[in-house]
Amino acid sequence: MDKNCIKDNMDWINGVWEKTEQKLRQVAKRSRNKIPYSSVDGVHTEKENIEWWTNGFWGGLMWLLYSETENEEYKKTALRSEELLDKAFDNFCLLDHDVGFLWHILSGAHYKLFNDEKAFNRNLIAAASLASRYNVDGGYISAWNGKGKEGWSIIDCLMNLSLLYWASEVTGNDRFSRIAIHHADMAARDHVRKDGSINHIVEHDVNTGEVVRVYGGQGFSETSCWTRGQAWAIYGFIISYYHTKKQEYLDMAIRSANYFIANCRMYDYKTPVDFRQPQEPCYYDSTAGVCAACGMLEISKYVTEAESKMYTAEAINILKATDKYFCDYNEVTDSLVLYGTEKYPHNDSAGLHIPIIYGDFFFVEALLKLKGNKFFVW
């Protein structure tokens, strides 16, 4: 990260951090017995199904806050969240590739901070479950369950690979990381387009891995560019680079980030749901911006000085827009980052412009990176 750029913005960083932490300190206690997903009228709401892919973010957010403050209240809530999530192990058939989002940022973080044995076991079981989704002939991790989806890989899965790199590290057995590398190689080949934009869903021939077709998934269309998918690519490839030091992953992270930056500037850094969506009405997804910013801050550690300054500055531009337009620092409401969007709203507005827990997670993670916190959970 560019030191001068951070120094020039230190007052803003500290000011936003203070408001954020003051609010979340209250929320951590209020929502201790919940696994929040969104909020309605300022009150955290939960998903009914415990296996829901975002259910690791709340506890993960608590560990991030604990890593900076060592405040026991955050620890208590993180531990409670981990305990509540154990129920998700009861339904193995309902788990999918998102076990990284579920456990790695929660139990993985817990283990990193305290060497906790139970957290270790939870995370290793999750890793084994992710590894079991690998299609040996096709060279990809199958994303979802259900007939007809056996050949589907999705860009989001790059974020779950941390779990496999971690499993190899702690077991000394490279069978997990080899799966992660095969999958990341596939994503570089089949999900990243030549112009740096991203295919959300790719369907492969299950016997050869060849691309059968692509789908627009949560974006506007199959030729458009869903911004959260673009953010998963930026952060996901740089995570794979961090673990493997394979140059191609850095190149892919940079290519994805450059596409994101070039387009995001056109929206004054307020990230739309899709970079190729119709201009009107303009739908936003704040969560894509904050995740992309985290990825850019990581990229800035591995590039030349001039580029480092560019990625740091652009990440800060996104975070400043988030702070200005999308954040709610009121301590009596539960969510921090508003204006997240689940998918491009073609026919209905459910999940449009709502707070979503991973928005809060990545906003806090980005702030902590800027503050120099070295706790890296991915």
| Residues contributing to the site for ligand GLY (CB under 6 A) | 53, 156, 218, 228, 342
Whether 96 is catalytic: no
Consecutive H or E run containing 215: strand 211-215
Closest distance of CB 359 from ligand GLY, Å: 11
Residue of 2, 98, 285, 334 with catalytic role = 98
Q: Smaller CB distance to ligand GLY: residue 37 or 53?
A: 53
Q: Smaller CB distance to ligand GLY: residue 240 or 312?
A: 240
Are 289 and 322 in contact by the 8 Å Cβ rule? The answer is: yes
Closest distance of CB 58 from ligand GLY, Å: 16
Q: Smaller CB distance to ligand GLY: residue 327 or 357?
A: 357
Closest distance of CB 53 from ligand GLY, Å: 6
Closest CA to 180 of 144, 235, 221, 134: 134
Q: Smaller CB distance to ligand GLY: residue 156 or 314?
A: 156
Q: Give the number of other Cβ atoms within 10 Å of residue 307's Cβ.
A: 14
Q: Quote the CA–CA distance of 72 and 41 in Å, as a whole number.
A: 28
Closest distance of CB 246 from ligand GLY, Å: 24
Whether 98 is catalytic: yes
Closest distance of CB 371 from ligand GLY, Å: 26
Q: Smaller CB distance to ligand GLY: residue 156 or 365?
A: 156
For residue 112, what are its two tokens? 């990193």
Give CB contacts under 8 A, 24+ apart, made by 203-210.
203/151, 203/152, 204/135, 204/138, 204/140, 204/151, 204/152, 204/153, 205/138, 205/151, 206/135, 206/137, 206/138, 206/150, 206/151, 207/137, 207/138, 208/137, 208/138, 209/135, 209/137, 209/138, 209/139, 209/140
Residue of 2, 96, 156, 360 with catalytic role = 156
Tell me the residue nearest to ligand GLY as measured from the CB. Answer: 156
Residue numbers annotated as active site: 98, 156
